[in-house]
Amino acid sequence: MAKVVTIQTISDDPNGIKIIGLGAKSLKTFVVPRSMVSEIKNRDDANTPGVYFLFGENEAGSTVYIGQSANIINRINDHDRGKSDELWNIAVLFSLETIYIRYLEDNAVRQAKEAKRYDVKNIAGAPGEKINESQRIIGEEYFEDMKFILGILGYPLFQDSPKEKQAEEVYFIEDANNKDAMGRGSLLPNQEFIVFKDSLARVKETKGFIEHVRSSVALRSQLVSEGVLKILENGKSYIFTKDYVFSSPSAAADVVVARACNGWTGWKNKEGKTLDENTRGPGKYDMFFSIFEKEFSKITPEYQNDISFSQYSRKNYKQIKFPGYGRKHFEVRFVKGESAIEIALHNEPAGVNDYYLRDFFNKNKESVQKEIGNNVKYEEWGDHWERIFILVPIESNQNLDDQLALRISKTMRDFVGCIHPLIK
């Protein structure tokens, strides 16, 4: 049955706060980027009881925290000001009557953990509210509406993963030398990638993988401890004990072959065509970055004579250099299977005492986060690199078009504008 969904923005920013309605139903939903939490706190229609979902990313993939409160805005503000390790970037708030919120929170936590599509950060849901039969029926209707809206927003939190026999197309990846890795999987609509039960993953990890792809190394270790990967008697391969959904084709490929691997070109169908060839087509990134370069130059005339652009064979990122930056450069890169774009400033220190960005970030962290957003992070990776970066989420139905290129150009302008004068 078709449904009518309305979307209202509270400003002229298409990536700002959204209010979503579902037909004639009373359920009201707010989608709030973390950097804009303060902009919604004075709305009467948001200062209500409700259930909320905090979506983010960590090394293992997509995360969610599910909660309820008598005042959801106050509670979200507490999360925003709270623990520094809460790496959420989008809050989805459902305004509801008090009688239903504990029941819906309990249902949501339980079913999200059963679906295993996200890393659910709740230790346990609160005991469900004792409600009568008619209230339970209404509560179930609310829950179905919440699942529907979350699906539209690109958060398949409660959706079961397809089995191998149901997959539209199965892709394969192997260890080129000795068949220790033999993976089978399929791309999901939201650009996640499922690896099917009984696939084999190589046990021995390459040196470069251990040093430079720490997130995938950590994920492999997690999957072993959780029993998803079980070592075979030959000691050379792990076997997948069940289907497992990864945040991207590359994350899946890394885990299977135990080395850094571009999943878009590594996974191939039975005809030998890559995932990239079948789903993206030629020139997709070239076109996007051509628009991005033009738009960024247009809105930042003050930098026009200073910067140079380079795009490399992997095609999914653009490097931007400023004169006098030495071993430092900016990058704009598609990550997590096109579910986000990463904007970063990289530095290759000349020695152990030359971690310039670390010193800069520690000194200017508050001003940088105030200017750009709380999800600006610093990290060191490998033996020779450090970076300051921000992830810009992309909605699952977003095309790589002029609108997205302009949005990323503006974010890049703010990022460079905040950091460039301080670095120089």
Q: What is the pLDDT of residue 241?
A: 93
Q: Name the pLDDT band for 25 (thresholds 50, 70, 90).
A: confident
Query: Which segment, 153-157, 169-173, 281-285, is predicted with the most confidence on average?
Result: 169-173
Q: Name the pLDDT band for 155 (thresholds 50, 70, 90).
A: confident
Q: What is the pLDDT of residues 87-115, one digit of tens each?
A: 788 999 999 999 999 999 999 999 998 88
Would the pLDDT of 84 be above 80? Answer: no
Burial class of residue 114, CB neighbours in 10 A (0-12, 13-18, 19+): exposed
Beta bridge partners of 66: 53
The shares of helix, strand and coil residues in the chain, as percent rounded to the nearest 5, are 35, 25, 40
SS3 293: helix
Q: Name the pLDDT band for 352 (thresholds 50, 70, 90).
A: low
What pTM was estimated for this model as a whole? 0.57
**Which residue's structure tokens are 């950060």?**
121
Alpha-carbon distance 301 to 289, whole Å?
A: 18
Mean predicted confidence (pLDDT) in 186-210: 89
Q: What is the pLDDT of residue 59?
A: 63
DSSP secondary structure string for all residues of 135-200: HHHHHHHHHHHHHHHHHHTT--TTPPPPPGGG-S--EEEE-TTTSS-EEEEEE-TTS-EEEPTT-E
Alpha-carbon distance 151 to 279, whole Å?
A: 21
Q: What is the pLDDT of residue 230?
A: 95
Amino acid present at 211: E
Mean predicted confidence (pLDDT) in 277-282: 67
Q: For the chain, which residues make up each domain, given as ranges?
A: 5-152, 164-278, 284-423
- Proportion of the chain above pLDDT 90, given as a percent: 30
**E strand or H helix that includes residue 419:** helix 402-423
Token pair for 205: 């990890």
* Nearest alpha carbon to residue 219 among 241, 186, 244, 196: 244
Q: What is the pLDDT of residue 361?
A: 84
Q: Name the pLDDT band for 313 (thresholds 50, 70, 90).
A: very low
Q: Between 39 and 417, where is the model more confident? A: 39
Q: What is the mean pLDDT of the chain?
A: 83
Sheet with 119-120, strands from edge to edge, namely 5-9, 18-22, 28-33, 88-95, 50-58, 61-69, 119-120
DSSP 59: T
Q: What is the 3-state secondary structure (H, E, C) of 191-248?
A: CCEEECCCCEEECCCCHHHHHHCHHHHHHHHHHHHCCCEEECCCCCEEEECCCEEECC
Mean predicted confidence (pLDDT) in 217-223: 90
Q: What is the pLDDT of residue 291?
A: 82
Q: Which CATH number fits domain 284-423: 1.10.10, 2.40.10, 3.30.110, 3.30.1460?
A: 3.30.1460
Token pair for 4: 């009518």
Give yes or no for a contact between 212 and 382, defined as CB atoms under 8 angstroms apart.
Answer: yes
Query: Which segment, 193-197, 315-319, 412-416, is predicted with the most confidence on average?
Result: 193-197
Domain 5-152 has CATH 3.40.1440.10: yes
Would the pLDDT of 312 be above 70? Answer: no
Q: What is the pLDDT of residue 326?
A: 67
**E strand or H helix that includes residue 63:** strand 61-69
